[in-house]
């Protein structure tokens, strides 16, 4: 069954009920988890029994010749900040180590309704705060391409699971690049939808005005299929938007001839690894060769996006994480003497250093005397960032940029330098501030480590973003490369 692993779902779907059962497909991926996850450590929880039960139910439907849902039998992983009924949801934090939700997140619920089989919950930076999955409260995840390197973050477990053949697709969350950056570093496809395209109900909040759920997969078509399943208005999430959900896969083959592709000059300046620059510009030339019209554009506020993001995200985190106090659920310090020490010791013992750092930064930015100078000003700059993107999209249909300024870095290389860690998301953060859709697709290698091309589009224009990514993907072979661990 090993030959099943690493083939996109859209290639396997037609075989279900003929020479392939759902059980065989699911077992192939459970075997891969058994074989490789001791090295990669992508999963925090594996739900093998539940997965087998789902597979049996789908095979019974096949035996009865019943029509199957669109993602029937697709073995998927779910980032562990998405609630799953009856399965613990830790957010990569000791403070929620034993938390078991009584309900599914809407995105998970919709995946199950579409027939996807959930294999388990993947590791992440604690409360999705990080760019390397080294901030997990349990253990770091490793990059399947090179086990002494990071997989990116915060959805590093989801990206590593797909790259290592431990899941056919995965859900992640993206607050400042947490789907696209690990997808880039692990050589898979990762898409952040427009803010409001996918319900956030059941996603444990980090920064509510920035968080968005999206798919990671082996190729663009599978990414489009998963996005189709999870998109749409949800009355349980007031920020989800009532807009039509197009058939994302139907327009993939329309090509890029005549489309206008903008290349923002600010994304190719200081800090960009020369080999990454070369790979991304080569990718732009491929699009040009396919008939796209390429032109330079400018985003003058890019230099302010990083500090703006960290002020807004940390402020929202300080508010959202106030609920973890040891009273209603989650970890409670056994050393509490009174209500004050219950709060203080529970939070001191349950949260990791990066979460504490961001809570303190956010609380400071919201405090009396500093709110006007920090949080309010950051929100004003956020508006300027959005306007810069609006001006660009008056001239072009999509933007093409690097996803990450560097290929994967070594484990431990940046853990003592938070600023260097934060700079890993410098090209993805502006997209979240503006609430736009963005995708990362493999576009080359630097010293054997993957590099990603980021394609950014207008609000709710995922169709064009996917179309450009697919055209590039089909014109190149980068997405067909598999990591050495995977091939083993």
- DSSP strands (E only) in 258-313: 260-264, 293-297
Is the N-terminal amide bond of 472 cis, ω within 30° of 0?
no
Instruction: Name the active-site residue from 93, 154, 173, 404.
Output: 154
Instruction: Name the active-site residue from 21, 79, 93, 131.
Output: 79
Q: What are all long-range contacts of 268-276, with beta carbons under 8 Å and residues at least 24 apart? A: 268/402, 271/405, 271/423, 271/426, 272/402, 272/405, 273/405, 273/406, 273/407, 273/446, 275/407, 275/446, 275/447, 275/451, 276/402, 276/404, 276/405, 276/406, 276/407, 276/446, 276/451
Strand order in the sheet with 117-122: 43-46, 117-122, 75-79, 169-173, 213-217, 189-192, 438-446, 449-457, 398-402, 260-264, 293-297
Nearest residue to 455 (alpha-carbon basis) of 402, 400, 403:
400
* Cα–Cα distance, 416 to 114 (Å, whole number): 43
Active site residue 79: yes
* Cα–Cα distance, 342 to 166 (Å, whole number): 40
Instruction: Name the active-site residue from 155, 178, 199, 240.
Output: 178
Question: Which residues face 214 on adjacent strands?
Answer: 172
Annotated catalytic sites, by residue? 79, 154, 178
């Amino acid at each position: 069954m090993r030959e099943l692993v690493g083939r996109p779902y859209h290639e396997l779907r037609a075989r279900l009920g003929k020479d392939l059962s759902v059980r065989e497909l699911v077992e192939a991926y459970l075997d891969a988890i058994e074989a490789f996850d001791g090295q990669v450590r992508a999963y925090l929880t594996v739900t093998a029994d539940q997965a087998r039960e789902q597979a049996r139910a789908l095979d019974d439907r096949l035996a009865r010749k019943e029509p199957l849902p669109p993602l029937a039998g697709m073995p998927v992983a779910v980032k562990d900040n998405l609630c799953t009924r009856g399965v613990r949801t830790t957010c990569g934090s000791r403070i929620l180590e034993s938390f078991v939700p009584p309900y599914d997140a809407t995105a998970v619920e919709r995946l199950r309704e579409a027939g996807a089989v959930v294999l388990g919950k993947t590791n992440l930076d604690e409360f999705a705060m990080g760019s390397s999955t080294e901030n997990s409260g349990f253990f770091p995840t490793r990059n399947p391409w090179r086990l002494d390197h990071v997989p990116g973050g915060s959805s590093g477990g989801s990206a590593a699971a797909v790259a290592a053949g431990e899941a056919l697709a995965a859900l992640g969350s993206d607050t400042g690049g947490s789907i696209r950056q690990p997808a880039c570093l692990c050589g898979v496809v990762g898409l952040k939808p427009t803010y409001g395209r996918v319900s956030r109900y059941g996603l444990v909040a980090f920064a509510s005005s920035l968080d968005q759920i999206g798919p990671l997969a082996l190729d663009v078509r599978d990414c489009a299929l998963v996005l189709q399943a999870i998109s749409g208005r949800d009355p349980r999430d007031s920020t989800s938007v009532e807009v039509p959900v197009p058939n994302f896969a139907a327009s993939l083959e329309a090509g890029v001839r005549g489309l206008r592709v903008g290349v923002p000059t600010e994304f190719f300046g200081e800090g960009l690894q020369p080999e990454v620059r070369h790979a991304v510009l080569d990718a732009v030339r491929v699009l040009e060769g396919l008939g796209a019209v390429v032109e330079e554009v400018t985003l003058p506020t890019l230099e302010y996006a990083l500090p703006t993001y960290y002020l807004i995200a940390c402020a929202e985190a300080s508010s959202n994480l106030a609920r973890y106090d040891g009273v209603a659920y989650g970890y409670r310090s056994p050393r509490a003497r009174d209500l004050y020490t219950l709060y203080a010791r529970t939070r001191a013992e349950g949260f990791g250093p990066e979460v504490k750092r961001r809570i303190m930064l956010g609380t400071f930015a919201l405090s009396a005397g500093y709110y006007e100078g920090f949080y309010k000003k950051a929100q004003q700059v956020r508006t300027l960032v959005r306007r810069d993107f609006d001006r660009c999209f008056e001239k072009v249909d999509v933007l093409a940029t690097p996803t990450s300024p560097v290929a994967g870095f070594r484990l431990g290389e940046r853990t003592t330098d938070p600023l260097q860690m934060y700079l890993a998301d410098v090209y993805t953060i502006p997209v979240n501030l503006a609430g736009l859709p963005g995708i990362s697709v493999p576009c080359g290698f630097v010293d054997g480590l993957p590099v990603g091309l980021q394609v950014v589009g207008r609000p709710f224009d995922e169709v064009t973003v996917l179309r450009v990514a697919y055209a590039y993907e089909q014109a190149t072979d980068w997405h067909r490369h598999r990591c050495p661990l995977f091939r083993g």
